[in-house]
């Protein structure tokens, strides 16, 4: 049986903070093509050691970016990203690549993902970059995002219906 590998939450959050208000020239900026939020979140996950996934039987079951002409919709589009990361693995599987699940608000940690949804479909992705506690009490989360770039912005100030995604790790070959 494969062993679940750890997600490097600190590295993903550090990448998010570094590039929240700028663009890494190694990747295309999709701001003018519907937004760059999911591309940015995918970059953060990659920086957190989540490997590219070529193993699925379609581009909607894979996750990678080499160039604008060699990428998957799961890397750059919010709803395909959601379906990929939550559908790639479950409690009884150990498929190559990411293992994530929907979570409750109070389960979020550094490097987890928050989506804005409308009529059940994701249209925006953000990453948790700080957890604000007062003693043992959760006060708020700070997020980073592209498409209306934000650095360490209070999640409590974001409007809209939300979906929370817990990154559990990944499986290797």
DSSP state of 5: B
Tokens 């219906």 correspond to 161
Specify if 1 maps to a domain: no
Query: What digits encode the pLDDT tens for the residues 45-86?
Result: 999 999 999 999 999 999 999 999 999 999 999 999 999 999
Q: What are phi and psi of 84, to 5 degrees?
A: -65, -55
Query: What digits encode the pLDDT tens for the residues 139-165?
Result: 999 999 999 999 999 999 999 999 999
Please say whether the beta carbons of 112 and 103 come within 8 A. Answer: yes
Domain span including residue 62: 9-171
DSSP, collapsed to helix, strand or coil, labels residue 11 as helix
* pLDDT of res. 43: 98
pLDDT, the chain, mean: 96
Specify if 121 maps to a domain: yes
For the sheet containing 97-103, what is the strand order? 97-103, 161-171, 113-118, 121-134, 137-145, 150-154
Q: What is the DSSP string of 56-102?
A: SSSGGG-B-EEETTEE-HHHH-HHHHHHHHHHS--TT---SEEEEEE
Specify if 154 maps to a domain: yes
Specify if 79 maps to a domain: yes
Distance (Å, rounded) from C-alpha 160 to C-alpha 115? 10
Specify if 40 maps to a domain: yes
Specify if 83 maps to a domain: yes
Specify if 3 maps to a domain: no
Number of folded domains in the chain? Answer: 1
pTM of the model: 0.96
Token output for 16: 């998010």
Count Cβ atoms within 10 A of the Cβ of residue 171 and give its class: 0-12 exposed, 13-18 middle, 19 or more buried. Answer: buried
């Amino acid at each position: 049986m494969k062993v679940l590998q750890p997600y490097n939450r600190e590295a993903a959050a550090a990448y998010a903070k570094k590039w929240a208000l700028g663009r890494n020239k190694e990747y295309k900026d999709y701001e003018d093509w519907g937004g760059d939020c999911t591309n940015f979140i995918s970059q953060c996950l990659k920086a957190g050691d989540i490997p590219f996934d070529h193993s699925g039987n379609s581009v909607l079951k894979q996750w990678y970016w080499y160039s604008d002409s060699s990428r998957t919709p799961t890397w750059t589009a919010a709803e395909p990203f959601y379906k990929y990361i939550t559908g790639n693995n479950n409690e009884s599987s150990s498929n190559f690549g990411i293992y994530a699940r929907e979570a409750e608000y109070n389960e979020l940690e550094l490097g987890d993902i928050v989506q804005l949804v409308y009529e059940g479909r994701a249209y925006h992705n953000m990453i948790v970059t700080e957890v604000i506690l007062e003693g043992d009490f959760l006060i708020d989360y700070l997020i980073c995002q592209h498409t209306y770039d934000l650095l360490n912005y209070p999640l409590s100030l974001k409007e809209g219906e939300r979906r929370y995604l817990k990154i559990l790790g990944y499986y290797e070959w």
